Amino acid sequence: MRNGMQKPVRELLVTLLLFMVAVAAWAGWLGWDQERDVQPDGSTTGPYEVWQVIGLVLTLLVAVYWAASRQYVTAAVLGTSAGLAVAAFYDWSDDGSGLYVLGVGMILIGSLVVTGGLSLLIASWKKRAGPRRQP
């Protein structure tokens, strides 16, 4: 394979990898908890707990950092955002009201904005730091 083709192929593979990581992270952290909790006053919360969402965010942060630090910013943004949107769509699509589509849209837009900004920040920071030199 020519050198000119290696970067786009690697970018595509990293995008697919991050897509799968996002779907798997959603399933691992949020996919198993489907029941709402009834509080003593009769109100309901959930189905997700705060620690589950924090776990998902930290897991994806590691994956985004890995990709962005290797200058795969587009892959970090598109793979993670698409994976989260697909996982949310699958998880919430049994909602009869149809409002889950708005939630999926908010997940997609929010993850595009956050992973985009974070990936650009990480990539520029790593680029400025340059390669480490051994003493």
Kindly state whether residue 86 falls inside one of the protein's structural domains.
yes
Helix, strand or coil for residue 93? Answer: coil
Cβ distance 81 to 108 under 8 Å? yes
The parent domain of residue 71 ranges over 3-129
Kindly state whether residue 135 falls inside one of the protein's structural domains.
no
Q: What is the pTM of this model?
A: 0.85
Position 121: which residue type?
Answer: L
> Based on the structure, what is the number of domains in the chain?
1
Alpha-carbon distance of 15 to 115, in angstroms, equals: 13
Alpha-carbon distance of 128 to 86, in angstroms, equals: 34
**What proportion of the chain, given as a percentage, has pLDDT over 70?**
93
Kindly state whether residue 134 falls inside one of the protein's structural domains.
no
CA terminus-to-terminus distance, the chain = 36
**62-85: pLDDT as tens digits:** 999 999 999 999 999 999 999 999
Cβ distance 65 to 122 under 8 Å? yes
Kindly state whether residue 75 falls inside one of the protein's structural domains.
yes
